Amino acid sequence: MTYSQFRNEQQTFLSPHGNLKYIDKGQGEAIVLLHGIPTSGWLYRKMIDELSQNYRVIVPDMIGFGSSDSPKGYKLYEPKEHAKRLLTLMQYLKINSWSHVFHDAGGLWTWELLKKAPEKISKLVILNTIIYEDGFNPPIRFKKGFIAQCIMAMYSNGITTNMMLKGLFKTGLLDNAIMSKSDMEGYRKPMLEGKVKAMYHFFTNTCNDLPDYSSVFENLNIPKLLIWGKHDDFLVIDKMKSKVFSNLKLKEENVHLIEAKHFIQEEKPKAINELILNFLAD
The structural domains of the chain, ordered by start, are 3-139+212-281 (3.40.50.1820)
In this prediction, residue 25 carries a pLDDT of 98
CA-to-CA dists, residue 188 to 135, 159, 196, 201, 209, angstroms = 27, 11, 11, 19, 28
How many other β-carbons are positioned within 10 Å of the β-carbon of residue 27? 11
How many Å separate Cα 169 from the centre of its chain? 15
Q: How far is Cα 16 from Cα 262, in angstroms, rounded to an integer?
A: 32
DSSP letter string, the chain: --HHHHHHH-EEEEETTEEEEEEEE--SSEEEEE--SS--GGGGHHHHHHHTTTSEEEEE--TTSTTS---S-SGGGSHHHHHHHHHHHHHHTT---EEEEEEETHHHHHHHHHHH-GGGEEEEEEEEE---STTB--S----SSHHHHHHHHHTTSSHHHHHHHHHHHHHH-S-GGG--HHHHHHHHHHHHTT--HHHHHHHHTGGGSPPP-HHHHHT--S-EEEEEETT-SSB-GGGTHHHHHHHTT--GGGEEEES--S-HHHH-HHHHHHHHHHHHH-
In this prediction, residue 159 carries a pLDDT of 80
- HSE (side-chain half, CA atoms, 13 Å) at 275: 23
Task: From 110, 55, 43, 56, select the one nearest 268 (Cα to Cα).
Answer: 43
What is the rounded (10 degree) CA torsion for 20, 166, 193, 104? 20
To the nearest whole percent, how much of the chain has pLDDT over 90? Answer: 86
- HSE (side-chain half, CA atoms, 13 Å) at 30: 19
Q: With a threshold of 0.85, does the pTM exceed it? A: yes
List per-residue pLDDT tens for the chain, 282 residues long: 999 999 999 999 999 999 999 999 999 999 999 999 999 999 999 999 999 999 999 999 999 999 999 999 989 999 999 999 999 999 999 999 999 999 999 999 999 999 999 999 999 999 999 999 999 999 878 888 888 888 888 888 878 899 989 999 999 999 989 999 999 999 999 999 999 999 999 999 888 889 999 999 998 999 999 999 999 999 999 999 999 999 999 999 999 999 999 999 999 999 999 999 999 998
Q: How far is Cα 99 from Cα 23, in angstroms, rounded to an integer?
A: 16
In this prediction, residue 142 carries a pLDDT of 82
Q: Is 204 exposed, middle or buried (0-12, 13-18, 19+ CB in 10 A)?
A: buried
Q: How far is Cα 12 from Cα 20, in angstroms, rounded to an integer?
A: 6
Amino acid at 99: S
pLDDT, tens digit, 9 for 90 and up, residues 184-211: 999 999 999 999 999 999 999 888 889 9
